[in-house]
Amino acid sequence: MRIRHIAVFGVAVLVGALAGSLVGPRPAEAVARELIELQHDVTSLLQGQKDLSTQVTQDHTVMKTLVEQSSDNVNKLSATMGSLQKSVQDVQANSGARLDTMSTQVQGLSDNLEEIKSRLGKLNQQLVDLQNSVQSLDAKISGGGAPAPAAGAANPVGSGSGKPIASAGSSPGSSVLPAGAPSADTLYSNGLRDITSGKYDLARSEFQDYLKYYADTDLASNAQFYLGEIAFSQKTFAVAVAEYEKVLTNYPKSFKLAPARLKKGMALIELGQKPAGVRELREVVKRYPGTEEDRRARAKLKELGVALTPTR
């Protein structure tokens, strides 16, 4: 449209110049020279307009490409942020369950170590008994009479408990087990294996049998604790509270007291009994300072927004 206007303007200028030459007395050569110059100016204007139009078109194309690229980048970034946000939400949703599973596995490893230590203690006592028996036989053979038994040989004890060790074929307090009853070591080892691999129903049955046949052994409190862990993992929190309470009540010297009280408090909170749960967590902080249970209890209290000690 603008090119058309310029053309019209050029024609008007030529017409005006021609009219002026007709009216005035100017020489023909001067008029012709001016017409040529005007024609040249009009041509230059038209070419400039054409160049400007071409440049504007190119700039528009470049700007359109940049805008499209920017839009694509924004869409990709938005999709990435959405995926990242979903990942964060998934991690937050699963972090509690993962921590509980890891805690159970760590407890299982710890109990495996305790079981190994207990077995080493039993083997050591058996070696002492064997040595005493050899000495006794040697004395009889030599005719010197039987020597006095070494301390602890008549009543071997487990490591650190002071209670008689239950043999594989007899339960504490009874001389004969029911036919086909598995040994204490077999039940406990199988229970640990199954709870760490997530076979909770099978592990529950094995730990229940352990408590049924070997309730007075060193690892009975551990078996009771793991019944609470199984219930907690299966989100039957009322059952978990009852199982943890049995550890606290029936085994006052167990090294599972701190984790049992911690998990009892967390189970109460899951049941919506926040005041009771907070009391248990504060007891953990009070009774077991510096332990892993103390750290976890403090973190949970902070998460709940309550003080470490009750305010008056």
**pLDDT number for residue 105:** 62
d(CA 31, CA 152): 141
**pLDDT number for residue 236:** 97
d(CA 272, CA 295): 22
Q: Give the predicted TM-score (pTM) of the model.
A: 0.50
pLDDT at position 204 over 80: yes
pLDDT at position 228 over 70: yes
d(CA 229, CA 31): 111
Mean pLDDT of the chain: 77
Of 68 and 4, the structure prediction assigns the larger pLDDT to: 68
DSSP class per residue in 223-239? HHHHHHHHHHHTT-HHH
Least confident stretch, 34-43, 85-94, 151-160, 255-264: 151-160
Residues in the chain: 312
**pLDDT number for residue 112:** 65
Residue pair 254/221 in contact (Cβ under 8 Å)? The answer is yes
* Confidence category of residue 51, pLDDT binned at 50, 70, 90: confident
Name residue, tokens 């083997």.
123
**pLDDT number for residue 305:** 94
pLDDT at position 2 over 60: no
Structure tokens at 263: 């998990």
Q: What angle do CA 46, 50, 55 make, to 5 degrees?
A: 150
pLDDT at position 73 over 60: yes
* Confidence category of residue 172, pLDDT binned at 50, 70, 90: very low
